[in-house]
Structure 1
Amino acid sequence: MNNRGTNLDTVRQYNLSRILGLVHREGAVSRSTLTRETGLNRSTVAALVTELAALKLVVEAEPDVNRGVGRPSPVVHPHPDCVAFAVNPEQDAISVGVVRMNGQVVNRVRHELDAPLGVDETVRVTAQIIADLRATLAPDAVVAGVGVAVPGLVRSGDGLVRLAPHLGWVDEPFASLLTDATGCPARAANDASLGALAEHTFGAGRGVDDLVYLNGGASGIGGGVIVNGAPLGGVAGYAGEFGHNLVTAPDGPGKPSTGGSLEDEVNRGRLLDLLELRSADPAQFEEALLSSTSPGLRTEAVRQLGILSIALRNAINVLNPELVVLGGFLASLHAFDPELLESLVAEQTLAASYESVQIVRAQLGADLLLIGAAQLAFEQLIDDPARLGLALA
């Protein structure tokens, strides 16, 4: 697909979308860069930026006159009052954030739970948190919508949660119910697939066209795949369920025996038990894991790294990615002994495939799934910015 814009009035929507998408991904783009990237002339770019600014989607700032040579070009930024609400329901908490277009999480609430809630109660709690957060926004803030990162299978066509086993949800229209409860358009997708999208757009995977992302959370392990720069969703959006792959559970590194699924064997709950914690947010979990001196904890962490290495070997051999990104508690497990994990993967992976891959932790940290969820809302806005103008008219 040719990504260059044109001056034809019939593709004005495309040109607005192209410019807003560039500003969204880059965070700050000079008009001269927008002109170069879109192929449009300067006056057309200026008119389109003015239109986006009137919709409160972008703002312009004066350039730094001390940098560069020649006539300085105004810099276009995402408007700070254009936001999306992002939701991540988990076994132990419901997290809701306010996210700006450049992936900046400006507010977040973690509502801790003793046990997973049913869909109706999750909708009620989430809608109340969104209402409370909305009250903190500017009166004329632009809300793109609500994005939901679900730990389970989400049908891409309509956002139906087909199965979220750790939440006890089966065939639940969570996004539709949340739309009704909040008055904001809500969309849902698998959490790890959104994590892959977030890291590809704003994190470790920027500029990388082929990557595999594995996320470890309270509800298990999921994954997302970017191929040739685009998400790999499968026919209905269920691709990337690495956590349900069967693995061999080693008695020790390199000593395989028959085991269960990846998420059964590489399990955050087991590590929390050994850390004597009931629950912990990602930062607290990593601090506890890396500071522990418990021999039992080390034995279990090494065992889990051995099993994780088998899953990574399989992913690398099958998909031949440039990058493997580990998020959630898998990033903390990697940090526990990165040399061990990488040596185990290297021992088992085809040499030709391993020589071109890097294994890294996610860069977006605890905000990763909220940033990914917000992408769902911003995608619709970016696809048709002019629609906002019609809604406001």
Structure 2
Amino acid sequence: MAVRGNNLDTVRRHNLSTVIGLVHRDGPLSRSELTALTGLNRSTVAALVTELTELGLAVELSPDATRKVGRPSPLVTANRNAVALAVNPEIDAITVAVVGLDMSVRSLVRREVEAAPSPSEAVRMTASLVAELRDELPTGAAVLGLGAAVPGLVHSADGVVRLAPHLGWQDVPIAEMLREATGLPAWAGNDASLGAVAERLFGAGNGVTDLIYLNGGASGIGGGMIFGGELLGGIGGFAGEFGHTRVAGAAVPGAALEDEVNRARLLEALGLGVADADQLEAALLSATDADAVEEIDRQVDMLSTALRNAINILNPALVVLGGFLGSLHAARTEQMTRLVGLQTLGPAFEDVAITRAALGDEILVIGAAELVFQNVLSDPAARRGSGIQ
């Protein structure tokens, strides 16, 4: 005779995920606010908060003393000592950060490299930096896992980098390699797609259900798309490669967008050998040399045409530009808006806003950390007895 299973544990796990997800995304919330947002009763919310605290994912704070009406309700916040490690391998540097569940970037280290690192070199450097950063964590901090934001086509199901042309990687099981090297649960995704998720949840796209994110980095231009509030990844997770679309008017016939709108070409035109993001932006904003101004304007024109195409095809509410594309937008905001408007169908242009990423240089490590948090917070109860520290 078959025995009907009891689904009460499934419901409890779902409710745990809902509550910790709310305080992770929205910041500190009172128990009464959680009760209202979840539709659960007060005693259930209290029990869930207690369990999340025991799991090391939430912390209760003293009630807001400024409240004058009613009994103060304790504030529930994500535990900043529950952290994710995040890595962004690029052709010029490996960046590793510690990000708290409260979305605070607690520390960040960027190690420059002379040439694009091989997979084994990238993993070795990452493991070394992870060890250094873990040693600096306070006693009792819990490391939930490691997320990698890779500039290339990353298979979403298994974290295999199918192709990262600028890094020279092909069919690299980067998530598995990072797990073996660090002893941590590890996940990997496309850098721009993770950036899109980060901006949607915590940046300029907060509350926007339909947006496009374009990231400009040393490896080129990548993109991520959020529609209906969900990441549009395609069947393999490879969607959003705007940088590999062809552009008209290129110096070399058949050139791709990232060949023409290019960080290295900007640095050369500005007379900069090596520059960080702030130095590049300052140079773009202050450029007066005729050749530099011409190159900036040319790249803005090319980028505007690409944005026109994306807006006409996808009809987003928001286009977010990150990396050096955000700096180009800052340097030529009115010009870019005008050029996109001239080329975009009127109703679609009326619906869209173009802005730069709000999360700045931290966007990709925040996105990589979110890859960890999404996996852990989907079933917080599974952390019990995990032993990960």
The TM-score normalised by the length of structure 1 is 0.94
1:309 aligns with 2:310: no
Quick check: 1:249–1:265 contact (8 Å CA) kept in 2?
no
Which has the higher mean CA deviation after the structures are superposed, 350-359 or 69-78? 69-78
CA distance in 2, matches of 1:68, 1:363: 35
Quick check: 1:152–1:190 contact (8 Å CA) kept in 2?
yes
Partner of 1:279: 274
CA distance in 2, matches of 1:268, 1:351: 31
1:232 aligns with 2:232: yes
CA distance in 2, matches of 1:10, 1:298: 60
2:339 corresponds to which of 325, 339, 344: 344
For structure 1, list consecutive stretches of 5 or more residues without a partner in the other structure. Answer: 1-6, 252-256
Deviations 1:199-224 (A, max 9, x none): 00100000000000000000000000
Partner of 1:299: 294
Partner of 1:123: 123
Partner of 1:373: 368
CA distance in 2, matches of 1:295, 1:10: 65
CA distance in 2, matches of 1:109, 1:76: 30
Identity of aligned residues (%): 58
CA distance in 2, matches of 1:134, 1:179: 15
TM superposition shift of 1:102? 2.6
The aligned runs of 1:258-269 (5 Å cut-off) are 260-269=255-264
Quick check: 2:221–2:258 contact (8 Å CA) kept in 1?
yes
Amino acid at match of 1:245: T
1:325 corresponds to which of 297, 320, 326: 320
Amino acid at match of 2:97: G
Q: Cα RMSD between the aligned structures?
A: 1.6
TM superposition shift of 1:42? 0.5
Amino acid at match of 1:15: N
Which has the higher mean CA deviation after the structures are superposed, 280-289 or 210-219? 280-289
Quick check: 2:17–2:379 contact (8 Å CA) kept in 1?
yes
Deviations 1:68-88 (A, max 9, x none): 632221111111211000000
Distance 1:381 1:68, change over 3 A: farther
Deviations 1:276-304 (A, max 9, x none): 22332222221222123222111101000
TM superposition shift of 1:23? 0.8
Quick check: 1:203–1:362 contact (8 Å CA) kept in 2?
yes
Amino acid at match of 1:235: I
Amino acid at match of 1:273: E
Which has the higher mean CA deviation after the structures are superposed, 59-68 or 351-360? 59-68
Q: Secondary structure in 2 aligned to 1:326?
A: strand
Partner of 1:53: 53
For structure 2, list consecutive stretches of 5 or more residues without a partner in the other structure. Answer: 1-6
Q: Secondary structure in 2 aligned to 1:71?
A: coil
CA distance in 1, matches of 2:151, 2:88: 8
Deviations 1:172-203 (A, max 9, x none): 11111111000001110000000000000100
TM superposition shift of 1:350? 0.5
Quick check: 1:220–1:267 contact (8 Å CA) kept in 2?
yes
Quick check: 1:259–1:265 contact (8 Å CA) kept in 2?
no
TM superposition shift of 1:250? 6.8
Partner of 2:197: 197
The TM-score normalised by the length of structure 2 is 0.95
Number of residue pairs matched? 382
The aligned runs of 1:129-140 (5 Å cut-off) are 129-140=129-140
Quick check: 2:247–2:257 contact (8 Å CA) kept in 1?
yes
Partner of 1:254: none
Which has the higher mean CA deviation after the structures are superposed, 275-284 or 300-309? 275-284
The aligned runs of 1:1-393 (5 Å cut-off) are 8-67=8-67, 69-249=69-249, 260-392=255-387
TM superposition shift of 1:248? 1.1
Q: Secondary structure in 1 aligned to 2:67?
A: coil
Moved over 6 A (4+): none
Deviations 1:318-361 (A, max 9, x none): 11000000000000001111000000000000001000100000
